[in-house]
């Protein structure tokens, strides 16, 4: 685990105290201290347990993040007249959830198709992003080649390019390929991402010892073989997180799929938009669709939320 | 982002060792040498090829399209120079969309970072059930913006919405969240904040936990209270993480599309374009009016806006947080 911003030591207000001078007397001392403190096991090690006020505040925060989802479920289990009569829904769900769900599935919107499409796109993109990013990350982190430094900087720079702005020409390309309305128009542009390459490079740099690669090479393994049987297994923890992030991003993506897929072959967010356009007077039906679209990711979150949290926090620390 | 050149294990010859293939004669040796030489490029090529085709080329081709007449159906027409740009700049709708985008961006990014900082400070304690609380704040992140917009669109509904009802119950008047400019921006910004605050909280929390605890002890000895510690130790030490959060929320926030698109069933940004954003406008010009040349011009103008606001952001954050850190980039210490 690496620590950032340790060079910012002298920025406290007022004159530095004895402790602070000691702390920053030597870079080495500061470094080892930072490393010691930065380790997850040591976090807050000297602190007492916080008071109950902290838990009350956190409970409020968690309620705020859950309530809108529960609100959606409450509306999805009631009826349109009920919603009009009681803008503040009772905390006990109604009995119409399954009615509303079947109305969603029987509506003119191809909802089932949308679920299938969303699953296909998210799974294919997650697998491919992980594979290509790990391949590139292995190369950047562990292989020597001319131009490696500048090329890696280029990769990082591309994460700041607002690629959404290229939608007009990208649409023209897809039109030339006759891919409009087809899933590959969404999948292909996202087969590998700069974020993924950077992420895997960072991870493999510290997780994959050179000795292992050498051993494989001495045994006569080709580069590809070395990648497959040494680098890929070593990359597994980071690869899992990358797959999760890609899955979530793909599942929730709307702008580009909406432009290129259209209404006949939608993904879930597009189907929700169609539901809204067709049934805007019946919120119970729309919210049933919303709940259906959210449930798969909530299940994923229950299973793998821990990894998502860890991934965000590691990504932040490594910058 | 430090240099990646130096291998950190296995001594000085580690890299050279890699380049050496086992001694074998003839063809297989040549093959092995090519394997070592070409593989690195081969492995990074998928990213670069794809980026060129779906990232770089479209960005530049946008410039080409923007100086032509270009219809969705008719395809490329005459070269018209900067006419698309001048037409767009004379449109009132364009300037409305710029106003809306910047207003929504400010309403979503500033409170969001402030709230995330506060929640992160609360989470940065020796809590019981740490993972539960962290997961609790992250839940909204897995909900699609479209779904968030539908939920909040109803919560903010003028008649049957929960928020106006609560306001009426406590004796206030309901707000016309959809019809008026500023309230609609607040509603849309709330959707963005709902989805992203927890995510940014965790980024800031991670950075907070990397702050050496000695600094707090030292501040305590100097007589700094909780609040003073937060502003004089925590905030300055978080500078790189805060800048990271600001940059990502600028690039993402200015391209906002989903939430305003879903705020009503028509998706045209309201009857008076009160919540039409620039990206919504690109979609309208390009796909509703089928005028690709002009849509490309708007895309380039948005790119310009993002760059300008990015620079302004950078200058402000540099001034606010510290004097002696100047041009230094964030530094990686541990391995």
Digit-coded pLDDT (tens) for A203-229 = 999 889 998 998 998 888 888 999 999
> Residues in chain A, how many?
319
* Contact between A290 and B41 using a beta-carbon 8 Å cutoff: no
Arithmetic mean of pLDDT, A72-79: 95
Contacting residues of B for A308, CB less than 8 Å apart: 135, 138, 141-142
pLDDT one-digit tens code per residue, A124-183? 999 999 999 999 999 999 998 999 999 999 998 888 777 778 899 999 999 989 999 999
Residue from A1, A2, A3, A5 to probe the interface with B (highest B Cβ count within 10 Å): A5
A143 with B7: Cβ contact below 8 A: no
The whole-angstrom distance between B265's CA and the closest CA on chain A is 5
**Confidence check: pLDDT of B278 > 80:** yes
Alpha-carbon Rg for chain A, nearest whole angstrom, is 25
Residue B255: closest CA among B292, B294, B310, B293: B310
Which residues make beta-bridge pairs with B291?
Answer: B71
Strands (E), B227-332: none
Q: What average pLDDT is seen over chain B?
A: 85
Question: Are B218 and A12 inside 8 Å of each other by CB?
Answer: yes
With an 8 Å Cβ cutoff, are B135 and A189 in contact?
no
Q: In chain A, whose CA is at the least distance from the CA of B194?
A: A65
What are the structure tokens assigned to A53, written together? 């006020």
Average pLDDT of the segment spanning B200-226: 90
C-alpha span between A195 and A200 (Å, rounded): 9
Confidence at residue B114, expressed as pLDDT on a 0 to 100 scale: 94
**Residue B322: per-residue pLDDT:** 52
| Residue of chain A minimizing CA distance to B19 | A144
- What pLDDT score was predicted for residue B25? 54
pLDDT score of A104:
94
Half-sphere exposure (Cβ direction) of B183: Cα atoms closer than 13 Å: 14
B18–A144 CB contact, under 8 Å: yes
From CA B23, how far away is CA B38, in angstroms rounded?
19
- Please determine, for residue A27, whether its predicted confidence score (pLDDT) is greater than 70: no
Look at residue A2 and tell me whether its pLDDT is greater than 50.
Answer: no
For A:127-186, CB contacts with B below 8 A are: 132-133, 135-136, 138-145, 148-149, 151-152, 155-156, 158, 160-173
pLDDT at A18: 33
Is A223 in contact with B36 (Cβ distance < 8 A)? yes
b/e B81-98 (16+ beta carbons within 10 angstroms → b) = eebbbeebeeeeebebbb
ipTM topping 0.95: no
Q: Given an 8 Å threshold on Cβ–Cβ distance, is A168 in contact with B287?
A: no
Q: What per-residue confidence (pLDDT) applies to A49?
A: 78
- Could you read off the pLDDT of A242-277 as tens digits, one per residue? 999 999 999 999 999 999 998 889 999 999 999 999
């Amino acid at each position: 685990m690496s620590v950032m911003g340790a060079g910012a030591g002298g920025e406290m207000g007022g004159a530095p105290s004895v402790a602070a001078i000691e702390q920053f007397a030597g870079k080495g001392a500061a470094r080892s201290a930072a490393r010691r403190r930065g380790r997850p096991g040591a976090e807050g090690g000297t602190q007492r347990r916080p008071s109950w006020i902290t838990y009350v505040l956190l409970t409020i925060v968690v309620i705020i993040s859950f309530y809108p989802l529960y609100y959606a479920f409450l509306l999805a289990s009631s009826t349109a007249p009920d919603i009009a009569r009681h803008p503040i829904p009772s905390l006990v769900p109604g009995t119409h959830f399954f009615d509303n769900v079947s109305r969603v599935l029987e509506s003119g919107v191809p909802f089932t198709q949308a679920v299938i499409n969303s699953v296909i796109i998210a799974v294919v993109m997650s697998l491919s992003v992980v594979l290509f990013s790990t391949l590139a990350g292995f190369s950047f982190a562990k292989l020597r080649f001319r131009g490696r430094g500048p090329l890696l900087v280029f990769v990082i720079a591309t994460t700041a390019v607002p690629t959404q702005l290229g939608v007009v020409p990208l649409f023209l390309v897809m039109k030339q390929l006759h891919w409009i309305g087809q899933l590959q128009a969404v999948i292909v542009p996202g087969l590998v991402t700069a974020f993924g390459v950077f992420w895997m490079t960072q991870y493999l740099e510290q997780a994959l010892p050179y000795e292992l690669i050498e051993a494989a090479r001495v045994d006569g393994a080709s580069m590809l073989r070395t990648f497959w049987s040494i680098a890929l297994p070593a990359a597994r923890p980071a690869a899992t997180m990358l797959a999760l992030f890609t899955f979530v991003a793909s599942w929730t993506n709307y702008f580009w799929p909406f432009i290129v897929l259209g209404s006949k072959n939608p993904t879930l967010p597009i189907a929700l938009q169609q539901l809204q356009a067709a049934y805007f007077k019946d919120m119970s039906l729309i919210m049933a669709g919303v709940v259906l679209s959210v449930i798969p990711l909530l299940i994923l979150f229950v299973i793998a939320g821990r990894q998502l949290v860890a991934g965000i926090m590691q990504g932040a620390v490594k910058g | 982002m430090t240099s990646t050149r130096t291998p950190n294990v296995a001594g000085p010859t580690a890299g050279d060792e890699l380049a050496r293939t086992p001694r074998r004669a003839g063809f297989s040796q040549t093959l092995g040498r090519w394997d070592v030489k070409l593989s690195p490029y081969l492995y990074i090529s998928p990213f670069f090829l794809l980026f060129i085709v779906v990232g770089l080329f479209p960005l530049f081709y946008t410039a080409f399209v923007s100086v032509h007449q270009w219809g969705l159906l008719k395809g490329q027409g005459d070269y018209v120079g900067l006419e698309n740009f001048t037409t767009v700049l004379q449109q009132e709708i364009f300037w409305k969309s710029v106003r809306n985008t910047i207003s929504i961006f400010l309403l979503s990014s500033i409170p969001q970072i402030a709230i995330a900082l506060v929640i992160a400070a609360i989470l940065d304690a020796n809590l019981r059930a740490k993972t539960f609380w962290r997961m609790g704040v992250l839940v909204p992140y897995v909900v699609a913006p479209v779904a968030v917009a539908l939920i909040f669109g109803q919560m903010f509904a003028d008649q049957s919405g929960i928020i106006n009802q609560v306001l009426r119950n406590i004796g206030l008047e309901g707000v016309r969240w959809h019809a008026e400019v500023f309230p609609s921006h607040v509603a849309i910004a709330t959707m963005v904040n709902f989805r992203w605050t927890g995510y940014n909280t965790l980024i800031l929390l991670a950075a907070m936990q990397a702050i050496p605890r000695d600094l707090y002890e030292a501040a305590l000895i100097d007589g700094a209270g909780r609040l003073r510690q937060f502003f004089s130790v925590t905030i300055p030490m978080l500078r790189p993480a805060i800048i990271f959060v600001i940059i990502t929320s600028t690039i993402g926030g200015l391209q906002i599309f989903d939430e305003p698109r879903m705020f009503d069933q028509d998706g045209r940004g309201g009857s008076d374009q009160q919540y039409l954003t620039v990206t919504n406008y690109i979609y309208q010009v390009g796909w509703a009016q089928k005028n690709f040349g002009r849509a490309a011009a708007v895309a380039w103008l948005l790119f310009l806006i993002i760059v300008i606001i990015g620079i302004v952001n950078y200058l402000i954050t540099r001034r606010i947080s510290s004097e002696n850190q100047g041009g230094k980039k964030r530094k990686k210490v541990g391995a």
